[in-house]
Amino acid sequence: MSKICQVTGKKMMVGNNVSHSHAKTKRRFYPNLFDKKFYLPEEDRWITLKVSAAGIRNINKNGLLNVLNGAKAKGLINKF
């Protein structure tokens, strides 16, 4: 599975390492992802999502079902 948050859509970014002499080499910035299990009381089951720290805060603030419906509308997840 790729390193993309299933809630916010955050993914890897590309940038440069800059040394003291300002020589630049490519590097990658990865999102802060976690494999986390959430309980979905409407369906009485557990689901596992790959979410970023911002995605977890989003779920805590707006509720799991609202966030999943929004992610499905954006095309980030197919089903839950």
pLDDT digits (tens, 9 = 90+) for 10-20: 999 999 999 99
Tens digit of pLDDT for each residue in 30-74? 999 999 999 999 999 999 999 999 999 999 999 999 999 999 999
Q: Fill in the amino acid letter for 69.
A: N
- The structure's pTM equals 0.85
Map out the domains of the chain as residue ranges.
13-74
Distance of alpha carbon 37 from alpha carbon 58, whole angstroms: 15
What is the number of other CB atoms lying within 10 angstroms of the CB of residue 67?
Answer: 23
**Among candidate residues 6, 22, 23, 4, the one with its CA nearest the CA of residue 72:** 6
Taking the alpha carbons of 61, 11, 33, 27 in that order, is the dihedral positive or negative? negative
Asked if 33 and 41 touch (Cβ cutoff 8 Å), the reply is no
Q: Which residues, in sequence order, are bridge partners of residue 58? A: none
Q: CATH fold of 13-74, please?
A: Ribosomal Protein L24e; Chain: T; (2.30.170)
